[in-house]
Structure 1
Amino acid sequence: MKPLAGISPPDSRGLRREPWWMRLHVDPWLLLLVLVLAGVAGFVLYSASSKSMAMVYRQGAHYAIGLAAMICVAQFKPRLMERWLPPAYLISVFLLLLVLLVGTEAKGAQRWIRIPGLITFQPSEIMKLVMPMSVAWYLGRREMPPRFKHVCVCLLIILVPVVLILKQPDLGTTLLIAASGLFGLLLAGLRWRYILGSILLLVPGAAAMWFFVMHGYQKQRVLTFLNPESDPLGAGWNIIQSKAAIGSGGVFGKGWLQGTQSHLDFLPEGHTDFIIAVLAEEFGLVGVALLLFVYLLIIARGLYITHHAQESFSKLLAGSITLTFFVYVFVNIGMVSGLLPVVGVPLPLISYGGTSLITLLVGFGILMSIHTHRKWMTQR
């Protein structure tokens, strides 16, 4: 009987060899979907940047670095990652403290560390990966569903970096990091009484955030979300122009390079946070639906990898990374369309930017590692 494509026949001992993609530790479906989005990003970014090939080339370089990092990370076994997590968490927290002490300030926020002559990086991006890994590391070594004391330890693991990032301030990254940690708790089988208790604390917690944590510009974003027309030439400008771009695209769009909101500079940040408004104007509802379909396939593949993971650490980590990617998509599209306040979250794998893109691709590398380092050799 002829073997299936990509699957090697049994060897002389009756054991089935691994397919080529598992030997290379690359998931072909996930890689294909990422490359599709890379192509889409190039087309949309060229239009959103007013036909700047220099920006497209820089994003291509970011993709090349990210893909190389993704394949490199995929070679490491999950057990090796798990072994180095405690020092990785402590180093990440130390870097966040260092940002507050000697970080570089830009646009009213202190979020970067500059090493003269070498690199400028954002430590909070590292924590986007370290956080779900840390929660998965802690819970994976304990019985599930987690007991109250284990829940408290996990909340402390989440709270420390969240507070440090809030002080930068960076509300969007704070929400993503907190979500990535909380997803690990939920996937571990968090008891319903804890979930219901958290829901009851939402209202007083939101009030405390409003009065004691949020900065003035963050409060203004919430007020603008509730009524953008109250300041159409100021705080409400971004949302009004974004909704105008999305609505003017109709079903099939105006055509590539034919968008008016972005090319006439009505739409700010069209190449970063609001890039989906450019896509919606030029490719319409059909273009947005196709993009969402690709995102849905990536999320489905991540959940498939989560389901087939063989260890508690791998299951919790894969599920957290996949659900956090969903939050990326949901929050960006929600804020651009006026359904959520603007919190500065880029559209994953499409928006221009290096650090966030590379972080996402490294996360996909972890998913590939989890999937391809399973025990494959089985008796015939």
Structure 2
Amino acid sequence: MTAAASSAGIRLRDHPAFILFWISRVCSALAFQMLGVVVGWLVYSLTGSAAALGLVGLAQFLPILCLTLLVGHVADTFDRRRIVLACQTLSALTVGALALAEGSGHAGLLPIYAAVVTIGASRAFEAPTMAALLPRLVPGEVLPRALAVASSAMQMATIAGPAVGGFAYIFGPAVPLTLAAVCYGVAAVAMAFIRHVHAPGPRSAMTLETLLSGLAFIRRSPVVLGSISLDLFAVLLGGVTALLPIYAGEILHVGTQGLGALRAAPAVGAVLMSIVLVRRPPTRQVGHVMFAAVAVFGLATVVFSLSSSFLLSLGALFVLGAADNVSVVIRSSLVQLSTPDEMRGRVSAVNSLFVGTSNQLGEFESGMVAALIGAVGAGVVGGVGTLMVVALWTRLFPALFHVDAMPVKVETRR
């Protein structure tokens, strides 16, 4: 990371706060990914129920849904660094307690769900607050590169976290739970060493108007609204993650090992694309590039859906992940740089809700359509639907489509 970051102008000696931020984000994401593997195995071993596994996802998503408006107000009113630090500390203590309970044989289903809800609530605050914090750590002109490096952290955690968690589970669930707690602890320590970079806003009363001000700002900004909604509907329609077990077992006939490769392929594509974007971030015609990336995402979804070759399917998912990462970096840069600092918490909270909604509802949509017309039909319909969204959004949001260069001035509170 250091070499790539240095070549892009993000040097350790110039931006130590960003390096600490990166470490914190990597460790937190690793912990969350390990936790997902362990909790899934624990819940299924205790219940043998697919519905119980579904409730794990619901327990993670409901806190985000319920807390979004409050999260945004808090992130814009209080010190963002301390909010993230508190969230990561709470997560470390929660997972540590679950590890102790599991090690002593007292971890039943209820404590597991309670821990999942607590972690979900913590992430509801942590994720958007970290997104709002990042633009204060680097100059605006290098923010796209910083976002690419930060995105690579998430993708590497997506690859490494489940693998580490799954291997450590061999020695009992308490081992990966302890590792996850340690990772959260390291994340908190790194965050604690970041210097104060955010002057909290005035302690205004929490009213319905202040809670909804993030939504109002997004509605008034066609670039921000177009960026967030394009991602929402593209992922909602084009996501094929939920269908991968069907493809691995019934279409490609590659079993569980092949399923692991299929799940990793998009993340590998995203990581490699992050390296490219760190060195050559998009600087001109960024609106066109983002729309083209989403269109490639849709086309790759169609290719994957129609493929009966394992290698072609891997390639399609690799391209899908790479294209998605281009879209994510440009969208995140546009949203953060187009939003005043005093509104970033609320806008990031709404964006986090949209991303969570698209991922969760996208899997639900894929599963329901597949039940009606089969997995291949569902994938093709989703990919074509993504292409239709791209065409429609060029008409609905021409200002976004014609964005040329990234805004480089980060607006701050005076």
TM-score by length of 1: 0.30
- Pair member with larger Rg: 1
Greater helix content: 2
TM-score by length of 2: 0.28
